[in-house]
Chain A
Amino acid sequence: MTGDAVYLDFAATTPMDPRVADAMLECAGADGTFANPSSVHIAGRRAAAVVEEARAALASLMRTEPGRLTWTSGATESDNLAIRGAALARAHRGKHLISMPTEHKAVSETFRALEKEGFELTWLAPDSGGLLSLEALSRALRDDTQLVSVMHVNNETGVIQDICAIGELCREHDVLFHTDAAQSVGKLDIDLGAMPVDLVSLTGHKFYAPKGIGALYIAARPGLRIFPILYGGGQEKRLRPGTLPVHQIAGLGKAAAIAARERQANYRHVSAMRDRLWHGIADLPGLQRNGDIESGYPGILNVTAAGMDGESLLLALEPVCVGSGSACNSAVAEPSSVLRALGRTDAEAQSAVRFSFGRTTTAAEVDFAIDRYRSAVTRLRAIAPVT
């Protein structure tokens, strides 16, 4: 419980782990490692040591070299830096880029901005389960293609793309491959030493670190160069200027160390919670799971209930906090572009609910959500006009 709320929206953000908060507090105050890590004095060097310790912890989690990681403010900035930085650095070679309509807006809107600047985009539609067809990607790759971006775990459906196969295909064509791994870092086993991926975006707040801190992985690969998108000091090898937020970085490092130890147990826990919830509602008529079930991350369960108005369903579910199948950035919700890309109708997309689970989710909370969902669907269907 979060106060009087039952929080099942861990794909949106996670609470900070108390151990992470403790690590951050050690950086705060006059006695903490608060100094500017770029300063050469002793306090600065201590702060720099904290930054590098966190970088090493994150690198260990993702099985790569610490030097391959650049601190950013989160996945949105990492996506912008990776996509824009790579596209601009390789523009002299070609201006064709490839992505999917199921990407997070941090990716899709960056590509749309590049389109306005003369780049050409190919959007590859997923199959009905949300997966990318390697054949479709192979057909779309051209001599002038410079970058492919496909997210690892979809934030709405939990669908896991085969990024190894995608990356291998890109390498065969000398095309850079970027993946937004905001939903997978800290949750799935990621071995960047073995994965043919060039650029990986991540953020801390999806795995119990604070908001406002993330990183971009850049592979050590000949010819892989990206341009900065911000200008200022020479921090982060001149790629990402700005005074480093030591306390945020310390928090992310602590979260990475915890995830390295507890990831498998957390995976089993969210799997059990997801299965418990689904088994509790699956007999309701007209339910449909969104996203490929076999290849999904078990921390996310996206369900459409036929004939529901999504907004009414969300209100009837209170105090259960879930994600909706609508983009509620306007007074009248727009159906999710991700679910539309999977072939769902506007009505089906708007009646979708995303339950997402985390390490603090309890069986009692899931049972409460089951009761609430069942009664909400039954009640709203009962008052709907007969068609």
Chain B
Amino acid sequence: MPPADPYNEEVRACFANPAHAGELDGDHARVLAAQAGDAASGARLALSAGTDNGIIEALRFRAWGCPHLIAAAEVFCREYEGKPLAALRQFYANEWMARLRIPVAKAGRILLLEDTASMLADNID
């Protein structure tokens, strides 16, 4: 049997076109930022959120790590734009393990996203 493709279609699409990678543009009433990870752990992730009246208007990420991390960050930004800031506290990355077919050995990568989102939420007054 040939080795299975380690990346599903969603991971491949998000990795190839990470539309939310980069910096926030436009004016936002408030900008929140958080960063986690380091070179020693093999991955780093930074999130920034432009908000107004408790709503996430725009999300951007910067990531250094494997394709699963980059894809997860892209999916996260895409899905949390337009949501209330409070929703950041309800993000449980392990629910995306199956969706993005992330191997158990790489759970740390997706937990890095959860940690960064949680730090972003902690910046809310």
Residues of chain A at the chain B interface (Cβ within 8 Å): 307, 309, 311-312, 315-316, 330-332, 347, 350, 380, 382-387
Contacts and interface: CB of A to CB of B under 8 A. Distances in A.
Given A383-B18, A385-B35, A331 B66 contact: no
5 nearest A-B residue pairs (beta carbon): A331-B105, A383-B21, A384-B64, A385-B62, A385-B46
B43 to A, nearest CB: 8
Among A311, A332, A385, A387, the most chain B Cβ lie within 10 Å of the Cβ of A385
Contacts of B42: 309, 332, 350
A373 to B, nearest CB: 16
Contacts of A315: 7, 12, 15, 67
A347 B39 contact: yes
A350 to B, nearest CB: 8
B62 A312 contact: no
A286 to B, nearest CB: 14
A312 B106 contact: no
28 contacts: A309-B64, A309-B65, A309-B66, A311-B66, A311-B67, A312-B15, A312-B66, A312-B67, A315-B12, A316-B15, A331-B103, A331-B104, A332-B106, A380-B64, A382-B21, A383-B18, A383-B22, A383-B61, A383-B62, A383-B70, A384-B44, A384-B62, A384-B64, A385-B35, A385-B46, A386-B62, A387-B39, A387-B44
Interface residues on B, range: 20 to 34
Nearest to A330: B105
B45 interface: yes
Q: Name which of B18, B22, B67 has the most chain A CB atoms within 10 A of its CB.
A: B67
Contacts of B103: 331
Residue among A330, A347, A383, A387 with most chain B CB within 10 A: A383
Given A331-B106, A347-B39, 4 more contacts: A309-B42, A312-B67, A330-B105, A385-B46
Interface string B74-115: 000000000000000000000000000001111000000000
A245 B106 CA distance: 43
B63 interface: yes
Interface string B14-46: 010010011000000000000100010011111
A259 B3 CA distance: 32
Given A315-B15, A347-B39, A383-B63, A332 B44 contact: no
Given A315-B15, A331-B103, A332-B106, A385 B67 contact: no
